[in-house]
Amino acid sequence: MNYTFDVKIKNKTIKCRAFTLREYKDLLQAKLEGRIESFINELISNCTDARDLNKQESELLVINLWAHSLAEVNIEREWSCSCGRSQVVPMTLTRATLGKEPDVIKDFSNFKIVFRYPKLFEDKNRAMMVAGCIDYILTSAGEKLFLSDLSDAELDDLYSVITEKDIKEVYDGLVAPKPILGIPISCECGEHTVHVIEGLKEFFKVM
């Protein structure tokens, strides 16, 4: 019998099933063979009804899928205080939330480029990701133009004005939002802190 559960992401309720032991073994094998990214996309497709999620939404879904499938919704990890004391800290991974997604817009004086957020693993190549995430162009007259509205020559002109500095700034803005979990911790010495887990890689370290 499949274990099913729902994951709420923004205004979407995503139907999920836990991945099987066979799928988990295949996942580990894919990691060894360097196919982990394509296999995670397969897991999302096979184990959920999610559609059109951006990078951080997909990462939050993966965190929930992993936690439920491996019975690691509630885990405990050791934390060391600056005073030298250590304690076991409980964490509920499914309480992770999404980071803010401010509009990413690059102003080129005569026009602006409005970007969409990337899909999962779309950030492998910085320049290609930035080009692929162009949502539309806003002219000084307020006209909205999509890439499909432009001729090949106009596309070449558009790409030619985007500098390496622009690419870095836009890239950094597009990959900045990440799933996040804040864990309040208090020590006997009186120190109070919030340990923050941010991004899929950091979650995988504690899962």
* Two structure tokens written together for 99: 């980071």
Q: Hey, is 103 helix, strand or coil?
A: coil
Terminal C-alpha separation, the chain: 24
Q: Which helix (H) or strand (E) holds 22?
A: helix 21-32
Q: Are 103 and 114 in contact (CB under 8 A)?
A: yes
- The DSSP string of 146-184 is -GGGS-HHHHHHHHHT--HHHHHHHHHHHH---EEEEEE
Q: Tokens 């997909």 correspond to what residue?
A: 58
Distance, CA of 117 to CA of 137 (rounded, Å): 15
The band of 91, judged by pLDDT with boundaries at 50, 70 and 90, is very high
pLDDT digits (tens, 9 = 90+) for 97-113: 999 999 999 999 889 99
What mean pLDDT, rounded, does the chain reach? 92
Q: What is the average per-residue pLDDT within 69-87?
A: 89
| Cβ atoms within 10 Å, residue 59 | 23
The band of 139, judged by pLDDT with boundaries at 50, 70 and 90, is very high
Question: What's the pLDDT at 27?
Answer: 85
Question: What's the pLDDT at 35?
Answer: 85
Q: Is 90 exceeded by the pLDDT of residue 37?
A: no
Q: Is 90 exceeded by the pLDDT of residue 47?
A: yes
| Cβ atoms within 10 Å, residue 18 | 19
Distance, CA of 157 to CA of 175 (rounded, Å): 26
- Percentage of the chain lying above the pLDDT 90 cut: 72
Distance, CA of 170 to CA of 179 (rounded, Å): 19
Distance, CA of 179 to CA of 200 (rounded, Å): 7
pLDDT digits (tens, 9 = 90+) for 142-167: 899 999 999 999 999 999 999 999 99
Distance, CA of 53 to CA of 65 (rounded, Å): 15
* Two structure tokens written together for 190: 């009186």
Distance, CA of 198 to CA of 97 (rounded, Å): 10
Q: Is 80 exceeded by the pLDDT of residue 1?
A: no
Q: What is the average per-residue pLDDT within 2-28?
A: 92
